[in-house]
């Protein structure tokens, strides 16, 4: 669908096929809405913020300036996470940790596809958490989520000290090197900087998550993360510092870039 079609289906609350039947007729208020949408788009605002919605794994989620717009690549992470969690064949309820929940896309998709999990959904941004709560409630999964407004570094340290354990950690952390953010397209720069900025080399959050992840993961657990373009060698080297991780596997996205990493714990490991 073209951007114009997407705006019209949103204004008319109809499907694309219905646009042809409508023969382009808009009331004056609908025309005004359409002109305003086009003006916002011409100003560089992301289309999804203007529509107020996006599709993630077949679910319509509300999106606005409070959080990153879910990307199609992140659906690969979710598909893999569903496969891994189901392969654990556990009958008990599994504890999943989503670091940097944003709009709630990953957490909600997991809960809609797996029955026996509860999720701790953490974000440093109050705004993002408010949006994630709205989306969780609209999808009837909020009872299975514990929301937490924390810095992930502090949370991971505290959990490691208190002995809190998880079966699976998922994360799509900010991974753009700080110095490259100004080169991103105008509409991407309209998304929250805190959702993009991965520190000087883009790897800040991977260092933290990998360092503490093994300390709070069950011996049969998995760490599943989305990664940025060309970051796989550096991330592999970070994993190599921690022998508790056994198999580390990278998965490619639709254009052949290594986009998701899954590390399994070494259940036989002895200190
Ligand atoms: C790349 S976005 C991912 C959002 C969502 N999970 C997705 O896949 O679209 C990263 C998220 O991490 C959050 N974040 C950034 N720094 C953080 C920190 N220090 N602790 C916890 N969350 C953080 C941001 O607010 C943002 O929502």
Q: In a mutational test of the pocket of ligand 1, which residue from 46, 79, 102 has the highest number of ligand atoms less than 8 Å from its CB?
A: 102
| Residue 132: band (very low, low, confident or very high) from pLDDT cuts 50, 70, 90 | very high
Atom 27, ligand 1: which residue's CA is nearest?
102
Listing DSSP states for 79-142 in one string gives HHHHHHHHHT---SPEEEEEES-TTSHHHHHHHHH-SSEEEEEEES-HHHHHHHHHHHHHTT-G
Question: Positive or negative CA dihedral for 207, 209, 212, 214?
Answer: negative
Residue 74's pLDDT is 98
Query: By C-alpha distance, which of 233, 164, 243 is closest to 210?
Result: 243
Domain 69-265 CATH assignment equals 3.40.50.2300: no
| Residue 247: band (very low, low, confident or very high) from pLDDT cuts 50, 70, 90 | confident
Going from the Cα of 5 to the center of ligand 1, the distance in angstroms, rounded, reads 31
| Residue 40: band (very low, low, confident or very high) from pLDDT cuts 50, 70, 90 | very high
Please state the domain extents for the chain: 3-43, 69-265
Q: Tens of pLDDT along 200-211?
A: 999 999 999 999
Q: How far apart are CA 175 and CA 199, in angstroms?
A: 8
Query: By C-alpha distance, which of 183, 147, 257, 167 is closest to 217?
Result: 167
Q: Please give the model's pTM, rounded to 2 decimal places.
A: 0.95
According to DSSP, the residues that pair with 260 across neighbouring strands are 226, 251
Radius of gyration in angstroms for the set of CA atoms belonging to the chain, rounded to a whole number: 20
């Amino acid at each position: 669908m073209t951007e114009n079609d997407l705006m019209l289906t949103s204004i008319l609350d109809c499907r694309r096929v219905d646009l042809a039947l409508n023969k382009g007729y808009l009331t004056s208020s609908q025309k005004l809405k359409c002109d305003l949408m086009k003006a916002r788009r011409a100003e560089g605002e992301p289309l999804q913020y203007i529509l107020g919605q996006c599709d993630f794994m077949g679910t319509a989620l509300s999106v606005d300036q409070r959080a990153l717009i879910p990307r199609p690549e992140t659906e690969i992470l979710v598909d893999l996470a569903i496969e891994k969690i189901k392969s654990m064949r556990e009958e008990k309820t599994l504890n999943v940790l989503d670091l940097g929940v944003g709009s709630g896309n990953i957490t909600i998709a997991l809960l809609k596809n797996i029955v026996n999990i509860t999720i701790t959904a953490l974000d440093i941004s109050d705004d993002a958490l408010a949006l994630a709560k709205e989306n969780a409630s609209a999808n009837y999964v909020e009872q299975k989520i514990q929301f937490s407004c924390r810095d992930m570094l502090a949370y991971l340290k505290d959990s490691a000290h208190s002995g809190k354990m998880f079966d699976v950690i998922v994360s799509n952390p900010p991974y753009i090197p700080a110095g490259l953010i100004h080169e991103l397209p105008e509409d991407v720069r309209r998304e929250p900087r805190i959702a993009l900025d991965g520190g000087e080399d883009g790897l800040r959050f991977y260092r933290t998550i990998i360092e503490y992840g093994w300390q709070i993961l069950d011996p049969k657990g998995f760490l599943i993360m989305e990664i940025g373009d060309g970051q796989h060698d550096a991330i592999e080297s970070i994993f190599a510092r921690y022998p508790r991780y056994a198999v580390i596997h990278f998965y490619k996205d639709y254009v052949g870039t290594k986009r998701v990493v899954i590390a399994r714990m070494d259940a036989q490991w002895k200190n």
